[in-house]
């Protein structure tokens, strides 16, 4: 497998695997109950008992980060998967059929793009009420347009190529051509977008959580930990540093993976010797 | 009974500039096992004719007339029925193998597509058949090559893969659209050989679209000459090329390097123009006032169909006039 040759990709994959493992086995890994308050231990710096210190309620930040990985990954992956799937399907249809179909789909995209993403997500999440699932719905609703646009643009160029005609001459129907021939040709930019998208979804969900629309306290979410800790930035910076690092590492890891996957999926970029 | 008979096919493209008549009242017959060559210069509507048969033209193209294949009119078929005809009944060998393969799918996957689409074959079985096909077309290390992407193959290999793809559905008619375009002499010979093998192996009829007269001579039983959207001459390959009747065909033959490389003066008329008389009028050496206005009908002379008012039975003299005229001009 080529993917293991690239060190950065490998690093990204290892980090993501560790993250996923952490998320799955969170209850076994945490030294403390993430929601248990020990007010006499509040705002302690990192020490042996609390590897990342404690927050203003005396909760173990390390444990909360570990539990936060669950929700963050869930939101990031689910939101990106749904918005990419919707965006790809609509983008393929718009680019492939053109004409009225294209016009209608792209005008809907324009309408959605006319609203600032986070504000629209706020409105939707506000309408649906607080909760993790509603945040996911809201973020997916504002995240699919980019995919649709990129896919449509690429399809417009790719569908004119001769191999599409060849596929038709072999008796392939529209759906087959779209998903079998066009999709692999347009997937590379989508993968790069999606890798960044996971990070963005994690950040955006943190923003919504901060405004009280995401996971409700005391559920541990990296974003809200960051927001909560910012009032103690000068006296206890570890409240923000560690959740921030968690977000940073996660987003970086997905970026590395995205780059590696692009190289793997697009044979035109392969530098493989031809015997 | 002909395998494919085209009757009065007219294909028009609706463009901003007007109606482009790429095929005008074309009638052709291809019999079982026969090779028909369709020759003509660039932009005369050869490829459009080929694509019209398969209904692969863009949406702004409108075809009228009849294309009867095995007693069914292809123009009347639905999209779904047409998908069944393509590949399994009528195969298509695309122009350039370099761009006809999907760059991001492996050769093996693309080869088995036809079989999987038409016969609902499982992947493994389709693969075995596809590999046999490749092997019989003379590609070495088939199993290894099947795992390669198109960019890893040489031009000749791609040509073989594309050829194999076009016959996986065992079509009884194969349309080859300028298969020798842009190839050097060695590769061209290989492609001719490949096409010969294909027709022998599958016993399929072949509609060979080409502007290369030598390829046509090497492969075809019959030849139809197309000019500006019309068939101007149609007959056995031997007769048409050795004793051309239509002034345009004579011009084509005279433009061969070994015949002195004499070009036909002028340009072919725009397909947008509606010309009442002969479309070759502006370039014709034997033209006359009648040609300009009088509609030209097909006439049969010695078993050859010609669309010219003043066909001379002895094409020889005209040809010489043609050649000499330009020689003196060149000097």
Closest Cβ opposite residue A165 in set B56, B83, B165: B56
Torsion from C-alpha of A40, A41, A44, A48, nearest 10 degrees: 150
Identify the band that residue A86 occupies on the pLDDT scale cut at 50, 70 and 90: very high
Mean pLDDT of A187-198: 82
What pLDDT, on a 0 to 100 scale, did the predictor assign at position A3?
62
β-pairing, B4-15 with B61-69?
Answer: antiparallel
Cα–Cα nearest to B94, from A158, A165, A173 = A165
Instruction: List CB contacts (< 8 A) between A166 and chain B.
Output: 92, 94, 100-101, 162, 165
Assign residue B199 a region (left: φ > 0; alpha: ψ between -120 and 50; beta: otherwise): alpha
Closest C-alpha to A179, from A255, A97, A113, A89:
A89
Q: How far lies A224's CA from each of A9, A41, A52, A205, in Å?
A: 29, 20, 16, 9
Q: Does A25 touch chain B (CB under 8 A)?
A: no
Would the pLDDT of B217 be above 70?
yes
Residue A99 C-alpha, separation from nearest chain B C-alpha, in angstroms: 11
Which candidate in A102, A165, A167, A171 is best for mutational testing of the B interface (most B CBs within 10 A)?
A171
What is the edge-to-edge ordering of all strands in the sheet holding B222-227?
A: B90-93, B173-177, B205-210, B35-39, B222-227, B230-236, B304-306, B299-301
Distance CA B46, CA B229 (A): 8
Q: Does A169 contact B166 at a Cβ distance shorter than 8 Å?
A: yes
3-state helix/strand/coil string of B233-299: EEEEHHHHHHCCCCHHHHHHHHCCHHHCCCCCCCCCCCCCCCCCCCCCHHHCCCCCHHHHHCCCCCE
B95: nearest CA partner in chain A:
A162
Determine the pLDDT at residue A1: 52
What CA dihedral angle connects B143, B148, B149 and B151, to 10 degrees?
Answer: -110
Predicted confidence (pLDDT) at residue A214 exceeds the cutoff of 80: no
The per-residue pLDDT for range B89-109, each reduced to its tens digit, is: 899 988 888 888 998 888 888
* Reported pTM: 0.78
- Report the candidate in A16, A144, A24, A149 with the shortest Cα–Cα distance to residue A81: A144
Q: What is the average pLDDT across B218-235?
A: 91
- The answer to whether ipTM exceeds 0.85 is no
Which of B210, B225, B174, B202 is CA-nearest to residue B54? B174
Report the chain B residue with the minimal C-alpha distance to residue A267: B104
- Chain A segment 64-93 residues within 8 A of B by beta carbon are none
Q: Do A162 and B168 touch (CB under 8 A)?
A: no
Q: Could you read off the pLDDT of B6-18 as tens digits, one per residue?
A: 999 999 999 888 8
What is the rounded average pLDDT of the residues A92-116? 92
Orientation angle between helical segments B123-136 and B107-119, nearest 10 degrees: 120
Task: Say how many CA atoms lie within 13 Å of A79 toward its Cβ.
Answer: 32
Sign of CA dihedral B281, B285, B291, B295: negative
B95 touches chain A (CB under 8 A): yes
Does pLDDT of B83 surpass 90? no
Sign of CA dihedral B34, B35, B39, B42: positive
Question: Could you tell me the pLDDT band of residue B328, with boundaries at 50, 70 and 90?
Answer: very low
Q: Which one of 1.10.1740.10, 3.30.70.100, 1.10.3720.10, 3.30.70.270 gives the CATH number of domain A68-267?
A: 1.10.3720.10
List of chain A residues whose C-beta atoms are within 8 Å of the C-beta of residue B86: 168-171
Note whether A176 contacts B: Cβ–Cβ < 8 A.
yes
Give the distance from residue A86's alpha carbon to the nearest chain B alpha carbon, in angstroms: 23
- The domain limits of chain A are 68-267
Tell me the three state secondary structure of residue A212: coil
Residues 145-164 of A with CB under 8 A from B: 161-163
Q: Do A171 and B87 make contact, defined as CB atoms within 8 angstroms?
A: yes
CB A79 within 8 A of CB A139: yes
Beta partners for residue B11, in sequence order = B23, B63
| Interchain proximity B169–A170, CB inside 8 Å | yes
**CB of B166 less than 8 A from some CB of A:** yes
* Beta partners for residue B6, in sequence order: B28, B67
- A267 lies within 8 A of chain B by CB: yes
The packing angle between helices A7-24 and A238-265, to 10°, is: 120
């Amino acid at each position: 497998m080529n993917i293991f040759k690239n060190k950065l990709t490998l690093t990204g994959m290892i980090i993501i695997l560790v993250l996923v493992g952490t998320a799955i086995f969170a209850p076994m890994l945490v030294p403390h109950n993430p929601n248990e308050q020990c007010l006499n231990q509040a705002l302690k710096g990192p020490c042996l008992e609390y590897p990342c210190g404690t927050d203003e309620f005396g909760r173990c930040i390390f444990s909360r980060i570990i539990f936060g990985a669950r929700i963050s990954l869930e939101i990031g992956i689910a939101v990106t998967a749904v918005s990419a799937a919707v965006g790809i399907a609509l983008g393929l249809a718009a680019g492939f059929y053109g004409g009225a179909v294209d016009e209608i789909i792209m005008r809907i995209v324009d309408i959605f793009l006319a609203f600032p993403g986070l504000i629209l997500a706020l409105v939707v999440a506000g309408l649906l009420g607080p909760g993790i699932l509603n945040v996911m719905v809201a973020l997916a609703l504002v995240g699919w347009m980019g995919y649709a646009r990129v896919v449509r643009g690429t399809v417009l160029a790719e569908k004119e190529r001769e191999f599409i005609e060849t596929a038709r001459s072999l008796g392939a129907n529209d759906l087959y051509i779209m998903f079998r021939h066009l999709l692999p040709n347009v997937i590379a930019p989508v993968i790069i977008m999606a890798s960044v998208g996971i990070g963005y979804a994690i950040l955006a969900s943190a923003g919504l959580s901060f405004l009280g629309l995401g996971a409700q306290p005391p559920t541990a979410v990296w974003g809200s930990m960051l927001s909560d800790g910012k009032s103690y930035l000068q006296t206890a910076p570890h409240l923000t540093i560690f959740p921030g690092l968690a977000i940073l590492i996660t987003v970086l890891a997905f970026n590395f993976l995205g780059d590696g996957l692009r190289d793997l999926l697009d044979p035109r970029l392969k530098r493989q010797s031809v015997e | 009974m002909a395998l494919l008979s085209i009757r009065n096919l007219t294909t028009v493209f609706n463009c901003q500039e007007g109606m482009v008549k790429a095929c005008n009242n074309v009638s052709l017959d291809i019999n079982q096992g026969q090779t028909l060559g369709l020759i003509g210069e660039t932009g005369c509507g050869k490829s459009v004719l080929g694509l019209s048969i398969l209904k692969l033209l863009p949406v702004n193209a409108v075809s009228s007339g009849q294309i009867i294949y095995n007693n069914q009119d292809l123009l009347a078929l639905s999209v779904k029925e047409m998908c069944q005809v393509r590949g399994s009944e009528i195969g298509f060998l695309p122009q350039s193998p370099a761009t006809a393969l999907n760059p991001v799918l492996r050769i093996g996957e693309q080869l088995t597509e036809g079989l999987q689409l038409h016969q609902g074959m499982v992947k493994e079985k389709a693969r075995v058949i596809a590999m046999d096909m490749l092997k019989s077309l003379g590609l070495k290390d088939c199993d290894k090559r099947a795992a390669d992407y198109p960019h890893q193959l040489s031009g000749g290999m791609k040509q073989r893969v594309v050829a194999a793809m076009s016959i996986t559905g065992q079509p009884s008619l194969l349309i080859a659209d300028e298969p020798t375009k842009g190839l050097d002499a060695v590769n061209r010979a290989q492609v001719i050989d490949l096409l010969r093998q294909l027709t022998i192996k599958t016993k399929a009829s072949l509609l060979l679209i080409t502007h290369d007269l030598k390829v046509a001579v090497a492969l075809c039983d019959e030849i139809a000459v197309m000019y500006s959207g019309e068939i101007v001459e149609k007959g056995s390959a031997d007769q048409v090329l050795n004793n051309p009747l239509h002034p345009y065909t004579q011009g084509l033959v005279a433009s061969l390097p070994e015949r002195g490389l004499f070009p036909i003066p002028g340009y072919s008329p725009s397909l947008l123009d509606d010309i009442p008389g002969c479309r070759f009028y502006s370039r014709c050496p034997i033209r006359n006032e009648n040609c300009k206005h009088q509609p030209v009908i097909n006439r049969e002379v010695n078993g050859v169909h010609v669309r010219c008012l003043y066909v001379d039975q002895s094409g020889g003299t005209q040809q010489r006039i043609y050649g000499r005229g330009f020689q003196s001009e060149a000097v």
